[in-house]
Amino acid sequence: MKDKILEVKNLTTIFHNVNQDVTAVDSLSFDLAPHEILAMIGESGSGKSVTNLSIMQLIDEPGEIASESQILFKDGDRYIDLNKMTEKEMERIRGDRISMIFQEPSASFNPLFRLGNQVGESLRLHGRSTKEEAYQEALKLLEQVHIPNSTLRAQDYPFQMSGGMLQRMMIAQALSCHPDILIADEPTTALDVTTQAQILGLLKEKQRETGMSVIFITHDLALVEDFCNRIMILYAGSLMEEGKAKDVISHPMHPYTQDLLSSIPKPGMFKGVDKLFAIPGKVPDPGEKITGCPYAKRCSRCTEECQASKPGIAEKDGRKVRCFHAYC
Ligand SMILES: Nc1ncnc2c1ncn2[C@@H]1O[C@H](COP(=O)(O)OP(=O)(O)OP(=O)(O)O)[C@@H](O)[C@H]1O
Ligand code: SF4
Ligand SMILES: [Mg+2]
């Protein structure tokens, strides 16, 4: 624990919808080391965003984070449980010690205000700068994230930016207070591959310069091998596999990870008889009652045992895997 910046223990987040309860995150435990880049991977609906919104204490009704869930964050020489903080205490942490680049750019920027003012706003809100100082700092940040003509572009409104430029603006905004942790929720999903590579390069550059830790959320396993230190694979709100990025990619143990890797298109694969593998079936419906392994309906190795009960997490040599029949 001493060397962790964040330790999440048994995080459970449930949405009490009118018709049914949806367990978006189910007893999830993980940690984050200083300077580490951790990838959180899973298909749509696997609970990636809800996990990180729970860390930020941004779950609104009908959502509820179970009171026994612990989100321990290193604050100086002690750990504080973010799940026990008041809203006022969280305002001190959010945007300052932990920043988030939201999946939706519209959640980060107000369409009615110029970007330069918005990028420096956290500095002002956290009492670090006056309005003018914050604007000058925003101009520096725009240069640091390689916005061309940054002084002019600071005068623009969000709708005047391309997707890639708006992502750079969001990174600048998230970095403004030098956070200990940056949560990047699918920051490259809507971008073309060239811009995607530029944004990943920029995030890595800033991570190296500042020493911050990063939680990088994506559904694209192909992106993360060189970019991240560690990978977590989520499915239906549960951890399926975790390990060093290189180990998980080169030697996946969980059938779901193996299937995800097999689904990645490779150059030349359509020349011969090869076809792109697609995982059969679909992710469980939100609120679906699952008694056995969450992946059972889609798994080629499913047995009666898998349908009868949910496997626990087995841990060995820094790897974690939730499967009765994992390749070891
Ligand atoms: N505000 C909400 N109200 C009700 N259910 C919600 C709410 N937000 C999320 N959920 C449910 O929680 C589950 C996890 O959602 P989450 O947004 O974390 O998925 P995700 O892994 O981030 O998916 P994506 O890749 O599409 O962003 C889903 O079943 C979703 O329907
Ligand atoms: S527990 Fe069974 S169904 Fe689940 S991933 Fe492993 S082999 Fe497949
Ligand atoms: Mg999401």
Give the residue from 241, 263, 248 showing the smallest Cα distance to 311.
241
271 pLDDT band, cuts 50/70/90, is low
Domain of 155? Answer: 108-176
**Of 131, 148, 176, at which residue does a domain stop?**
176
How much is the average pLDDT of 195-220? 90
Q: Note whether 14 and 21 are within 8 A (CB).
A: yes
Q: Is residue 193 part of a domain?
A: no
**Of 119, 145, 176, at which residue does a domain stop?**
176
* C-beta of 306 in contact with ligand 2 (< 6 A): yes
Predicted confidence (pLDDT) at residue 199 exceeds the cutoff of 60: yes
Cα of 304 vs its chain's centroid, Å: 34
How much is the average pLDDT of 270-284? 78
Mutate to test the pocket of ligand 2, among 260, 303, 320, 328 (most ligand atoms within 8 A of CB): 303
* C-beta of 296 in contact with ligand 2 (< 6 A): yes
Q: What is the pLDDT of residues 132-179, one digit of tens each?
A: 999 999 999 998 888 899 999 999 999 999 888 888 898 999 998 899
Give the residue from 160, 157, 165, 211 showing the smallest Cα distance to 187.
165
11 pLDDT band, cuts 50/70/90, is very high
Cα-based angle 172, 35, 106 (whole degrees, multiple of 5) = 30
How much is the average pLDDT of 255-273? 81
Predicted confidence (pLDDT) at residue 328 exceeds the cutoff of 60: no
Predicted confidence (pLDDT) at residue 68 exceeds the cutoff of 70: yes
97 pLDDT band, cuts 50/70/90, is very high
Q: What is the pLDDT of residues 118-138, one digit of tens each?
A: 999 888 888 788 999 999 999
103 pLDDT band, cuts 50/70/90, is confident
303 Cα: distance to centroid of ligand 2 (angstroms): 7
How much is the average pLDDT of 247-253? 95
- CA 122/CA 174 separation, integer angstroms: 8
Predicted confidence (pLDDT) at residue 1 exceeds the cutoff of 80: no
Lowest mean pLDDT among 214-218, 262-266, 295-299: 262-266
Ligand 2 nearest-atom number relative to CA 326: 6
Ligand 1 nearest-atom number relative to CA 53: 18
List the strands of the sheet with 37-41, edge to edge. Answer: 98-101, 181-185, 213-218, 37-41, 230-235, 238-244, 319-321, 314-316
Lowest mean pLDDT among 22-36, 205-219, 261-275, 297-311: 261-275
How much is the average pLDDT of 52-73? 97
Ligand 1 nearest-atom number relative to CA 217: 22
Give the residue from 191, 194, 193 showing the smallest Cα distance to 103.
191
- CA 46/CA 229 separation, integer angstroms: 21
In 3-state terms, what secondary structure has residue 174? helix
121 Cα: distance to centroid of ligand 1 (angstroms): 28
Question: Using CA positions, which residue lies closest to atom 16 of ligand 1?
Answer: 47
Q: Is residue 48 part of a domain?
A: no
Give the residue from 215, 202, 195, 214 showing the smallest Cα distance to 141.
202
Question: Using CA positions, which residue lies closest to atom 6 of ligand 2?
Answer: 323
- Return the pLDDT at 202: 87
Mean pLDDT of the chain: 91
Q: Report CA dihedral (195, 198, 204, 210) to the nearest 10 degrees.
A: -100
Question: Using CA positions, which residue lies closest to atom 24 of ligand 1?
Answer: 44
Question: Using CA positions, which residue lies closest to atom 28 of ligand 1?
Answer: 45
Phi, psi torsion values for 235, nearest 5 degrees: -150, 125
How much is the average pLDDT of 216-238? 92
Measured from CB, residues less than 6 Å from any atom of ligand 1 are 15, 17, 22, 24, 42, 44-50, 63, 103, 219, 286
Q: What is the pLDDT of residues 283-313, one digit of tens each?
A: 998 888 899 999 999 999 999 999 999 999 9
Backbone φ/ψ region at 230: left (φ over 0), alpha (ψ -120 to 50), beta: beta
* C-beta of 301 in contact with ligand 2 (< 6 A): yes
Q: Is residue 203 part of a domain?
A: no
Q: Is residue 219 part of a domain?
A: no
- Return the pLDDT at 43: 92
Q: What total of structural domains would you count in the chain?
A: 2
Q: For the chain, state the CA radius of gyration.
A: 21
Lowest mean pLDDT among 24-38, 95-109, 266-280, 308-322: 266-280
Q: Is residue 76 part of a domain?
A: no
Helices 163-175, 131-144: crossing angle, 10 deg rounding: 130
Q: Is residue 265 part of a domain?
A: yes
**Of 176, 203, 226, at which residue does a domain stop?**
176
- Return the pLDDT at 3: 86
234 pLDDT band, cuts 50/70/90, is very high
* C-beta of 240 in contact with ligand 2 (< 6 A): no
Q: Is residue 2 part of a domain?
A: no
- CA 228/CA 223 separation, integer angstroms: 9
- Return the pLDDT at 315: 94
213 pLDDT band, cuts 50/70/90, is very high
pLDDT: which is higher, 90 or 121 = 90
Q: Is residue 285 part of a domain?
A: yes
2 pLDDT band, cuts 50/70/90, is low
What proportion of the chain, given as a percentage, has pLDDT over 90? 69
Question: Using CA positions, which residue lies closest to atom 18 of ligand 1?
Answer: 47
Burial class (CB in 10 A: 0-12, 13-18, 19+), 279: middle
pTM assigned to the model = 0.94
Phi, psi torsion values for 255, nearest 5 degrees: -55, -35
